[in-house]
Each structure stands twice: as structure tokens, then as C-alpha cells.
Amino acid sequence: MKNESDKNSRKYPENNQRCMTKEYIDVYSNSKGRHNEYVDIYSSEKRKEKNLRNTSIFKIIYLTFFIILGVIGGTMIYAYHTLHSFNYEDLGDNYSDLKSEGSEINSKLVNDNMILNIMLIGSDSMSTGDHGRSDSLMILSLDLRHKKIKVTSLMRDIWIKIPGQGKDRLNAAYAYGGPKLTIETIERNFGIYIDRYVIVDFDGFSGIIDSLGGIDLELSASECAYINKYSGDSNILKGSGLKHLTGLQALHYSRDRNSIGSDYDRTSRQRNVIKAVVSKLKKASIGQITELLTIVGPMITTNFKTSEISRLATKSLTYLNYDIEEFRLPTDDNVRDETFSQKMVLVIKDLDKAKSDLSQFIYENN
């Protein structure tokens, strides 16, 4: 008779593989304590791998988040400094009351909420704190209704009534009361609403042109000779034709009233510079425009608020593609030369016609 151990040994193959497999299954599936031990060992390894993967993902997410946050923060700081680089100067409470809705003067002014009229004042004495006399006066109209940019030159020698000062040349208004009185003078005499103003001193004007890399203009030989004589720029312009001008050269080109014609031609040159600047900006990206604002900001005094500058900057590439139109006041058919107190001045023969002409040009009203 075979003993009990022999019977038990016949149940398994010689290599005992089945026994090991069955024992493995029996032990780890039926023994609660061992099963727990098995699960703990192998699931903890999987959790470690999973935790490592999750940690890596979270690190990437956190890193990306902080990079984005840094970029946004840097952009906001840059934008803040850009927008606050302008010299903001409000016109005061009295002027706000004058311009308030329903006021007698305001109710008589032609206005359109889709047309922004900006008074551009060129001054050569802003840095000294003395207003001096405005060397150039232009109205830049951003016309969203007709999708146009309109530039109106106002002759500085127009003989006109200045509120509280009597009659004098138009550019004297700036000497008497700065941009506030200048705007009030234009509104009362020509009947259009001026929304904002921008003052650029001539050093700033030169810097703006240089920050654009210069501008290209068609010049006559006499204009080139004038620029060479007075600008002090070492780059000599020869002959006539299309010339690339630096800031100094563009400045003296815009102030030239001796080489050809008189002050009439001078205002035409100033409009040519404005058109050349707009043409140059048309090729710029929004980043380049923002950088330009940072450069020119300290050179400009304005009552544009930072939020308004921001909105204009974001839409600038659209506005710069508008057609440009130009106008001059007074017109050739509505002016005569006279002398008052030994001053050569321009007298507008029919002020109502001048009002109508300006209104028609800016608002295209019928």
C-alpha cells in the first residue's frame, strides 16, 4: 500500500508548475491577508507611476500658466507705461461747463458722434512752459461715417475775433490762453465741435519723424536748398525729385515759406508731411505702432484719456487705410490781404461761407 505522501505526490506534474500556479492562485485569491498584501504591493507601484505622470503634467501646466501670466503681466506693464507716457492736460472745469450738453454755444456747433475732430497744434516753445504762438494749426478729422481721414489747415494769420481779447491773428489765441482758448476761438468763429487736442513741440516733431525712420517727399530744387541751408542736417539734398528726409529736414520743410510761394504753400507742405507720416504708418504692425507711441508719448501734450488712446491704437491699422483728403481755410475765393497795426493779416470776406465750407468738408452735409 502506498503511503499518503505518495498519493499526494501523484496529484502534480513532475515539474510542479501546475502546483505552483494553483498555489499562486489559491494563495493570492483566497487568502484575505495575502491578497491584501499583493494588492498593496502592486497597486502602489502603479500609483507611483501615475503620480509621476500627473506631477509632470501639473508641472507643465503650472509652468505654462506662469509663462502666460508673465507675458500678460509684462504686456500690461508695457501698455501701462506706453499709455501713460503722454502728457495729459485737461482743459479745466470751466471748459467742461462750456462744452456741456445743452449749453448755448454747444447747441450751435455742428457735431457728429462718428467724426472725431482733433486740434493739432505745432509749437516751438512748449518746453519752456510759455505758450508762445502756435506755429501751425490743423484739424485732423477721423471720419468713421465716410471712412476718411481729413486734414484741414487753418492759416495762422487769419484776422479773427478771439474771445476776451478782441481781434488778432489766429495764432495769438494760443499765446493768450493755450489750447483752451485756441479751441474756443475756432468753435465760436467756425461753428464746428473740437473733440480733442494734441500739442507737439518742434523738437518732438523731429523725433517723431526719426522714430519712423524718416519720410519720403517730392521736393523742388529750391526746397532742397532751403532745407540744406537751415536744417543743420549733414545729409545734403541735391537737385529735385523724391527725397528721403530725416526729422530735422522734415521739420524745416514744413516751416519753409520762402523757397516757393508764401504761407499758403507752407500749410500745403505741412499737410504733405502728415500724409507722408500716415503712408509710413500704413506699413507698420500694431507692435511697431505701440513702440512708436512709447517714443512719441513724452513729446506730446493732449487731453486724450488713456482709454481713448488704447481704443484708437487697437483700431489704428483700420483707420490708416482710410482715404486722406485735405482742405485749407480760408479758401482762395474768400480772403483778402490787409494790414492792421503794421501786421499783414488774412481777412475772411464772408465768415458764414467759411463756416459752410468747413462744415461741408468735414461732415459732408447737404
DSSP for residue 321:
T
Q: Is residue 44 part of a domain?
A: no
In a domain, 205, yes or no: yes
> What does 239-299 look like in DSSP terms, one character per residue?
SSEEEEE-HHHHHHHHH--SSSSSHHHHHHHHHHHHHHHHHHHTT--HHHHHHHHHHHGGG
In a domain, 62, yes or no: no
What local confidence, expressed as pLDDT, does residue 98 receive?
A: 52
Could you list the residue range(s) of the whole structural domain that residue 352 is in?
87-363
**Phi/psi at 115 (nearest 5 deg)?**
-130, 120
- Residue 71 domain flag: no
Handedness of CA 177, 181, 186, 189 (dihedral sign): negative
Classify residue 50: in a domain, yes or no: no
Cα 335 to Cα 161, 195, 269, 332, 346: the distances in Å are 16, 27, 20, 6, 6
> Is 64 domain-assigned?
no
Calculate ∠ Cα 248-251-256, nearest 5°.
125
What is the pTM for the complete model shown?
0.71
What CATH number does residue 163 fall under? Answer: 3.40.630.190
Task: Count the helices and strands in the chain (H runs, E runs).
Answer: 14, 13
Q: What is the pLDDT of residue 361?
A: 97
pLDDT digits (tens, 9 = 90+) for 165-205: 999 999 999 989 999 999 999 999 999 999 999 998 766 77
pLDDT at 19: 44
